[in-house]
Amino acid sequence: MAGPLEGVLVVDLSRALAGPHSTMMLGDLGARVIKVEAPGTGDDTRGWGPPFVDGESTYFLSANRNKESIALDLKDAGDRDVLLRLVDRADVLVENFRTGVLDRLGLGIEALRERNPRLVVLSITGFGHDGPEGGRAGYDQIAQGEAGLMSLTGSGPDDPQRVGTPIADLLAGMYGAYGAVAALHERDRTGVGSVVRTSLLAAVVGVHAFQGTRFTVAGEVGVAQGNHHPAIAPYGLFRCADGAVQIAVGSEGLWQRFCAAFGIAREGLETNAERVAQRGRVTEVVEAVFAEWTAEELLARLREAGIPAGKVRRLDEVYEWDQTASQGLLIDVEHATLGALRLPGPPLRFFQGSGETTPRQHTAPPTLDQHGPAIREWLA
């Protein structure tokens, strides 16, 4: 598949979500990704469901497009030899085993890089490779809680909630792909590969953003406060006559326009700091005005006034939205057993000169060992 990483070979020893999401990102960019799976069962996510469609897990389908699959038993000498021959040719190897597992298999980092000094190794763990809790098993929701994200999510301080997608896993995969591409760029300069490490803990802390500095600099501990921004007002979900809309009044200029459009008095609420301090009053004022409008009428008025706004869409509405399709966020592939499938697509687009060069040809997530015979023949 053409793309910025065309010619790069990725050997994917990972399973579940963080590692597979990372390698899928590399595959989306044109790398050849060979997914190594356990014989018989394959990746853990092949069994995660329902929903299943004709025996295929939709969870697995979400994280494994643009890959080939080969089944190898890493405790079998012949299969280990196949893996090592893949390592000899690889540019990147990705793994998310618990710390020490690869060493016990005789496939530790030093052994791999001794065979292939140019190899970039991406290693993802739950809480880090070292430190007092290094090697601790990591699952997404546990990491969301341990890394503070759940304390910031929910209707209030006593209502911690997980994010609706496995965001710790996904972020670790994104950071991992970012690190692997950086290591490949460094290898172009040095000729030598390197080891990239990240974790679910690191990935979530990495996106604390203003909530992090709110504590490290100002000494304030952020807490969940529902659908309203802790540092900007009005910014969040507001009720109207037949539902709710979201608005983002992120500057004083927008606030002035907003007040003019809806006849709101600004006395005592001139600055963002004043509005944040009186968030309850601001919400009451805004919702009292919005109560006279339906959501569609309100969104039209907000658009006319130049106020950033939107509605809360269900997933079916997102995937049926023409804007989603226009951004290449839906792709059509041919699956080996399911036939024609429509999948969520890659989130990046590329342009050179006046034309778009985004890869448009994609392959479906593989069935277990679908490409095993072809890969073995290639290696031979």
Q: What are the chain's domains?
A: 9-207+325-379 (3.40.50.10540), 235-314 (3.30.1540.10)
Q: Any catalytic annotation for residue 316?
A: no
- What's the CA gap between 311 and 60, in Å, rounded? 30
Phi then psi dihedrals of residue 244, to 5 deg: -155, 155
> How far does Cα 68 stand from its chain's mean position?
21
The reported pLDDT for the residue numbered 331 is: 95
Residue with tokens 């007040």: 259
The C-alpha torsion from 67 through 73 and 78 to 83, rounded to 10°, is 40
**Which pLDDT does position 1 carry in this prediction?**
63
CA 74 to chain centre: 29
What is the number of other CB atoms lying within 10 angstroms of the CB of residue 116?
18
Q: Give SS3 for 15.
A: coil
Distances (CA, A) of 364 to 18, 32, 122, 331, 349: 19, 13, 24, 10, 19
pLDDT in tens, the chain (380 residues): 689 999 999 999 999 999 999 999 999 999 999 999 999 999 999 999 999 999 999 999 999 999 999 999 999 999 999 999 999 999 999 999 988 888 888 889 899 989 999 999 999 999 999 999 998 888 999 999 999 999 999 999 999 999 999 999 999 999 999 999 999 999 999 999 999 999 999 999 999 999 999 999 999 999 999 999 999 999 999 999 999 999 999 999 999 999 999 999 999 999 999 999 999 999 999 999 999 999 999 999 999 999 999 999 999 999 999 999 999 999 999 999 999 999 999 999 999 988 999 988 999 999 999 999 999 999 99
Q: What is the pLDDT of residues 124-168, one digit of tens each?
A: 999 999 999 998 888 999 999 999 999 999 999 999 999 999 999
Q: List the catalytic residue out of 169, 188, 242, 316.
A: 169
- Separation of CA 47 from chain center: 21
- CA 42/CA 32 separation, integer angstroms: 19
356, two tokens: 């778009």
Alpha helix (H) ranges present in the chain? 18-28, 58-61, 77-89, 101-104, 109-115, 140-146, 167-190, 200-205, 210-216, 252-262, 272-277, 279-290, 295-305, 315-319, 322-326, 372-379
Which residues are within 8 A (CB) of 339 and not within 5 positions of it... i.e. 6 or more apart? none
Q: Cis peptide leading into 234, omega within 30 of 0?
A: yes
**Burial environment of residue 336 by CB neighbours within 10 A (0 to 12, 13 to 18, 19 or more):** middle
Distances (CA, A) of 266 to 109, 269, 273, 281, 302: 62, 5, 13, 12, 18
Backbone angles phi and psi of 268, in degrees to 5: 80, -5
pTM: 0.93
In sequence order, what DSSP letters do the residues of 123-158 get, joined into one string? EEESS-SSSTTTT----HHHHHHHTTTGGGSSSSTT
- For residue 198, the cross-strand partners are 124
